[in-house]
Amino acid sequence: MALDRPLVGEPLSLDLLDTTWMDRGSIQDLLEDHEVLSWGHTRPVVGRDGPGSVSTVDDRNRRAGWLAAVSYVELLTDDPSRIRRCAHPECVLYFYDTSPKRSRRWCSMAGCGNRAKAARHYARSRR
């Protein structure tokens, strides 16, 4: 059975980090618990063009997952304050806040943002 992830289009590392989400009250998970960073390593090199690095992954089928995990570590190193958990209480997704004022609250305005607005509207109309 194919699972439709609710949020795609974030930086690659967050797309792959967001492998769990809520669907009708139960958590869906695309990946089991893995020590993904142990699948490969990076070593520094100096070549004709100057310093650089070479990445090696034990199994080429795991390269994408390993690169995503490394990218996530880089996002955490560069600016961890931009990685946010969705403000919707039932959502388990994370996103990379690129808003100028760093004020984004929802993983998706079309999904969680609209649900929150609808809930507030419903609560006001019931008064």
Could you list the pLDDT tens digit for every one of the 127 residues in the chain? 445 556 667 776 676 666 677 777 777 766 555 587 888 999 999 999 999 999 999 999 888 888 888 888 888 899 999 999 899 988 888 888 989 999 999 988 888 888 888 888 888 888 7
- The residue whose two tokens read 């969680």 is 112
Q: How many CB atoms lie within 10 A of CB 77?
A: 8
Alpha carbon separation from 83 to 38, 65, 79, 102 (Å, rounded): 23, 19, 8, 10
User: Are the C-beta atoms of residues 46 and 66 closer than 8 Å to each other?
Assistant: no
Tell me the whole-structure pTM to 2 decimals.
0.58
Identify whether the C-beta of residue 39 lies closer than 8 Å to the C-beta of residue 65.
yes
Instruction: Please provide the distance, in angstroms rounded to a whole number, between the alpha carbons at the two ends of the chain.
Output: 43
Q: Is the four-CA dihedral 65, 12, 37, 18 of positive or negative sign?
A: negative
